[in-house]
Structure 1
Amino acid sequence: MTKRQLKLAAYLIGTGMHVSSWRHPASSPNASIDVRAMQKLAQIAEKGKFDLAFVADSLAINHESHPQIVNRFDPIVLITALAAATEKIGIGATASTTYSEPYTLARQFASVDHISEGRAAWNVVTTADATGQTALNFTREKHWEHDHRYERAEEFVDVVQGLWDSWEDDAFIYNKETGKFFDPDKVHELHYKGKFFSVKGPLNIARSNQGQPVVIQAGASIPGQRLAARTAEVVFTHWDSIEESKQFYQTLKSQLTDYDRGEEELHILHGISPIVGETEDIAHEKYDELQKLIDPYESLKFVSGYMGNVDFSTYSLDTPAKEVEFPKVNSIQSQFNEMKKIIDEENLKVGDLYTRFFGAARRDGFIGTPTQVANEMEKWFKEKATDGFMIQFPLLPRDLEDFVEQVVPLLQERGLFRLDYEGDTLRDHLGLKLPENRFVKGKTTI
């Protein structure tokens, strides 16, 4: 039996995940639209043998946006550029099932999978749009309700994966002597008809050498868990404590048997924002440098984007957070529920919210010496609170470089992480099987 090892993904976002990272003296504020800077980040992560370099997305901007979100590349275009600058690391991007069409999206990700030679991943999102701005960019009056979005997403994923199987792996013959380009018996039309979509197919591109792009999800609500248990191969998550993370881990993994899947077929990655220093004091000094750059009201606008259609910046910093009125949430329900629970249970003021909730601002066990950070990662991994980590570095490229140079070697010494890539595709890195073509198996309908 293969020894269980950590899976690592690097979240690439311009100058970093911290809301004030762009103001740091070491940052380049336009990094999110500097393709060479983004390629360099992917190359650093590849040097650290990361499984995946990941790019998120948003389809609208508003005052609640992280500064690095209001000016950035389309993620599918960007990961194509990242593919050209790397050789082994997986490359993943977010794309919405609420504001896309299955055929177009299937073709885009299949294309990147070929360009990268089997390293692509699709992060399936239904789009969290607390302010309703995205809907207005797509000729809609309002954002669809949460459960409706997930019902549509169920069909969307089925259609995309069906289209990815349009061609059997040996369908293209390229026989110059006979003039036979492909075997017509090995190309299949999907003929999908559902509540939301009617798609004939086939897709006009072959399967890649990893069969299909890897499917990622981040939903933790009941509909989100159901979709993940059925279709996801990687799940991004973030919980306030190791106990909550363990509970989610067990709950989601237990649902896999409902779909005849084993635990090894889905990897759960917990989000962390490590800052590493030669000493604990140095790590905390790096943290304090970023915190001093925060405009308290700008940071509250960032918090507002995660808590629904409420603007914390209209309140005094000394206002008890539990006194804020929250409208019905139509964004990321699980995240809202967790944050609201903390607000209700802890005596937080509005001015405390960013520091309490977000990444490095929490000053948790992932800020410290390389040994301290490695110890904390090992604890979460061995206690099965996670299969690995989605690492949202506060300041880029500094914190990514420090992690690769100082923490990764410790994880390798402990046998927790690979010394080198052992395969060529993202599925190889993650230990995922090549997906069988449903038409070869005789499964001609979804």
Structure 2
Amino acid sequence: MHLNLFAFAAGHHAGAWRTPDSSVDRLGEIAYWEELARTAERGLFDAIFLADGQAAGLGGIGSGPVWFLEPITTLTALAQATEHIGLVTTVSSTFWHPFHAARLIGSLDHISGGRAGINVVTSMTDAEAQNHNMTELPEHTERYAKAAEFIEVLQKLWDSWPMEAITADRAGIYTEQAQLKFLDHRGRWFEVAGPLNLPQPPQGRPVLFQAGASEPGRDLAARHAEGIYAVAWDLDMAREYRLDIRSRAVALGRDPDQIAVMPGLVTYIGDTVEQAKEKQRELNSYLPIADSLRQLAFFVGCDTSDWVLDEPVPQLPPLADFTGPKGRYATILRIIDSAQPTVRELLGLLAAGGGHATFIGTPEMIADEIERWIKGGGADGFNLMPPTLPGGIEDFVDLVVPELQQRGLFRTSYEGTTLRSHLGLPQYLNIN
């Protein structure tokens, strides 16, 4: 199985930064992120992942940290502080140009010796668009069509300057220019002549991740993704998504075993079940209710300010009628249907990870549930979203990873040096 650390602020729980021993004062210190990466590497994780957003988040940032250091800059520093762990960042195809992205991620791959990955997203808010010469985001289907072209150009750029073209012949020839490839790409959104002004990265192509759950998102993932950060509240939901992605991939002529589906996972770990639940209760006591309701309003597409905390969640429209981010909305509907929570209980369940799978218990119980999902066809691994950092990742590495290793579910050493090798993916070298 595969494990990925999704490192975010002081932890994924909205109240984590308010606890007395939180890491909130260290978010601008590169040493903090280096420690997280080294802990995950000590746990033999495949990669550390940094998400990104293109707006400060006015209306919510006053109640908790969101973005701080720019991810690619941060991961470049982490490359020097680690030896094996993969380094994955989010890039928005809605706002970025593929030449710029190919150069930056390709450089990260060179600097890290082949450990870079890119999570291509289409972004979610008009506030982000307004920082990029737009008044609002393009329509959902249009954004995904642009993302497909973005990925196509990105990969062609990485292929355009083979490393073998560099001869460094001191008689006067550095590169055999005939081996370089002009793209002359003229698409709907991008015009790129090429080649890239960077030789092919060590992995050939850095690993491509995707996280869409909508129909266009699933199509894009099935066609291009090598790793998928999925959203699944329960095993049935996880299995349905993974089977759907794999069947779409087969229809496109791809080997489905070359796609690692990794649902997000929030864990509360204790010596006893009650101790683990107490950790969750304590964090929930720091939850900013008003801001949590506003965030929920964004994901459900309606005003939640008058919802009564200790009454059942009001009836919401069916998924087919929803026009916002469908993946998160589908998850919220699933939680409401399965748990029948009050509004207050729903906010607690969404507080860490926004509705991703949440396992609470002893290390053995967490490992039991992970094994059930892996063997039940719901996951190839997990994108770990610790409710607190660094405590959450330290608990998982020290207590759960040994359990997984004893069961033969997880590696006991790194067998390769690149992110592709960690994921069991082929190298993309010498592409014609």
- Calculate the TM-score normalised by the size of structure 2: 0.93
Number of corresponding residues:
430
Give, as a single letter, the amino acid of the residue that structure 2 aligns with 1:7.
Answer: H
Which of 405, 426, 429 does residue 433 from structure 1 map onto? 426
CA contact under 8 A between 2:415 and 2:422: conserved in structure 1?
A: yes
Q: Would you say 1:137 and 2:124 are equivalent positions?
A: no
Give, as a single letter, the amino acid of the residue that structure 1 aligns with 2:13.
Answer: H
Say which SS state the counterpart of residue 366 (structure 1) adopts.
strand
Q: Would you say 1:115 and 2:108 are equivalent positions?
A: no
Q: Would you say 1:48 and 2:43 are equivalent positions?
A: yes
For 1:322, the equivalent position in structure 2 comes to 314
For 2:53, the equivalent position in structure 1 comes to 58
CA contact under 8 A between 1:235 and 1:269: conserved in structure 2?
A: yes
Long gaps (5+) in structure 2: none
1:340 to partner: Cα distance? 3.6
Which whole-Å deviations, capped at 9, do the CAs of 1:214-255 have from their partners, x for residues lacking one? 000010111111111111000011112101111111111011
Query: In structure 2, what is the Cα distance between the partners aligned to 1:343 and 1:107?
Result: 44
Matched ranges for 1:189-200 at <5 A? 189-200=182-193
CA contact under 8 A between 1:380 and 1:386: conserved in structure 2?
A: yes
Which of 70, 75, 90 does residue 86 from structure 2 map onto? 90
Which of 153, 158, 166 does residue 159 from structure 1 map onto? 153
CA contact under 8 A between 2:232 and 2:263: conserved in structure 1?
A: yes
Query: In structure 2, what is the Cα distance between the partners aligned to 1:63 and 1:236?
Result: 27
Long gaps (5+) in structure 1: 1-5, 441-446
Which of 130, 140, 156 does residue 146 from structure 1 map onto? 140
Distance 1:302 1:30, change over 3 A: farther
1:30 to partner: Cα distance? 3.0
Distance 1:164 1:330, change over 3 A: farther
Q: Would you say 1:333 and 2:332 are equivalent positions?
A: no
Give, as a single letter, the amino acid of the residue that structure 1 aligns with 2:50.
Answer: V
Which whole-Å deviations, capped at 9, do the CAs of 1:261-304 have from their partners, x for residues lacking one? 11221000011111211122221121121111112222222323
Give, as a single letter, the amino acid of the residue that structure 2 aligns with 1:153.
Answer: A
Distance 1:403 1:297, change over 3 A: same
Which of 294, 297, 300 does residue 304 from structure 1 map onto? 297
Query: In structure 2, what is the Cα distance between the partners aligned to 1:307 and 1:86?
Result: 40
Query: In structure 2, what is the Cα distance between the partners aligned to 1:419 and 1:210?
Result: 23
Distance 1:30 1:312, change over 3 A: farther
Q: Would you say 1:22 and 2:17 are equivalent positions?
A: yes
Distance 1:413 1:348, change over 3 A: closer
Distance 1:191 1:330, change over 3 A: farther
CA contact under 8 A between 1:274 and 1:360: conserved in structure 2?
A: no
CA contact under 8 A between 2:166 and 2:174: conserved in structure 1?
A: yes
CA contact under 8 A between 2:233 and 2:335: conserved in structure 1?
A: no
Q: Would you say 1:353 and 2:353 are equivalent positions?
A: no
Query: In structure 2, what is the Cα distance between the partners aligned to 1:385 and 1:143?
Result: 32
Q: Would you say 1:10 and 2:5 are equivalent positions?
A: yes
1:150 to partner: Cα distance? 0.3
Distance 1:346 1:21, change over 3 A: closer
CA contact under 8 A between 1:166 and 1:201: conserved in structure 2?
A: yes
Query: In structure 1, what is the Cα distance between the partners aligned to 2:63 and 2:414?
Result: 34
Instruction: State the Cα RMSD in Å.
Output: 2.3
Query: In structure 2, what is the Cα distance between the partners aligned to 1:428 and 1:364?
Result: 27
- Calculate the TM-score normalised by the size of structure 1: 0.91
Distance 1:307 1:58, change over 3 A: farther
Query: In structure 2, what is the Cα distance between the partners aligned to 1:167 and 1:274?
Result: 44
Which whole-Å deviations, capped at 9, do the CAs of 1:29-67 have from their partners, x for residues lacking one? 133322110111001000000001000011111324595
Query: In structure 1, what is the Cα distance between the partners aligned to 2:410 and 2:396?
Result: 13
336-345 vs 165-174, which moves further = 336-345
Distance 1:135 1:314, change over 3 A: farther
Q: Tell me which stretches of 4 or more aligned residues in structure 1 moved more than 6 Å.
A: 324-328, 360-365
For 2:97, the equivalent position in structure 1 comes to 101
CA contact under 8 A between 2:120 and 2:209: conserved in structure 1?
A: yes
Query: In structure 2, what is the Cα distance between the partners aligned to 1:41 and 1:8?
Result: 14
Give, as a single letter, the amino acid of the residue that structure 2 aligns with 1:148.
Answer: E
For 1:443, the equivalent position in structure 2 comes to none
1:329 to partner: Cα distance? 5.2
CA contact under 8 A between 1:233 and 1:267: conserved in structure 2?
A: yes
For 1:3, the equivalent position in structure 2 comes to none
1:26 to partner: Cα distance? 1.7
1:79 to partner: Cα distance? 1.0
Q: Would you say 1:168 and 2:162 are equivalent positions?
A: yes
